[in-house]
Amino acid sequence: MIKLNLTANGNAEQRVKDYLEQNASETLADKINNGVQIQKDNLTLLNKKDLTGFLQYANSEAQKQAEQGVSFACIDSQTVFGWAVHYFEEESIEGKLYNLDGTEYKPVVKEKPKTMVPKIEPKPQDQQASIFDILGEDIKMPAPILAVKVERPKVETAPKQTNNEHLSLLNEILGGIVQEA
């Protein structure tokens, strides 16, 4: 039986590890134990996979199997073990990435261009100082609100009718079947 450098956290991971140790080829065991060199961001990195990453992969595969609108799927053990072999064998599936010196790879985050902050023009010397100038605060005062009188056109409405007038109108329309209460 092959010994794999995998740490199992929980029963599910232990079952997958046991399966892999009993069924992995020498080539697969080497990929699991030593990782695989890949090229990313113009660097040579070491791609190492673990059982936690596999369970995340298996979860996404199970979700693909679930029917539309269903939040679960029943997957047989042999399918899950097949996914395990595929996960650890397939070089295009990324696990944890490390630099060749063994340090964890951290991708370079491109900085967003900084926005320009407008310069505040200095106040002319002959302007009277405000309380904010004296306190040394740079507080912007809100712009004054301008009041504008808007005249709305008058809309003529029909005179309001009372309930009795409504009832008699309905009575006319419906041919006398409405009775006053």
- Gap between the Cα atoms of 61 and 90, Å rounded: 15
Q: For residues 63 and 28, which has the higher predicted lDDT (pLDDT)?
A: 28
The predicted structure's pLDDT at residue 80: 93
What is the per-residue pLDDT across 42-84, written as a single tens digit (0 to 9) for each? Answer: 999 999 999 999 999 999 998 888 877 777 788 899 999 999 9
pLDDT of residue 123: 61
Decide if 45 contacts 106 (C-beta within 8 A).
no
Tell me the C-alpha distance between 87 and 89, whole Å: 6
pLDDT in tens, 86-123: 999 998 999 999 999 989 999 878 777 777 776 666 66
Q: Alpha-carbon torsion 49, 54, 56, 57, what sign?
A: positive
The DSSP annotation for 33-66 comes to HH-EEEEETTEEEEEE--HHHHHHHHHHHHHHHS
| Segments making up each domain of the chain, as ranges | 11-99
* Helix, strand, or coil (residue 14): helix
Q: Is the pTM of this model over 0.75?
A: no
Are the CB atoms for 99 and 45 separated by under 8 Å? yes
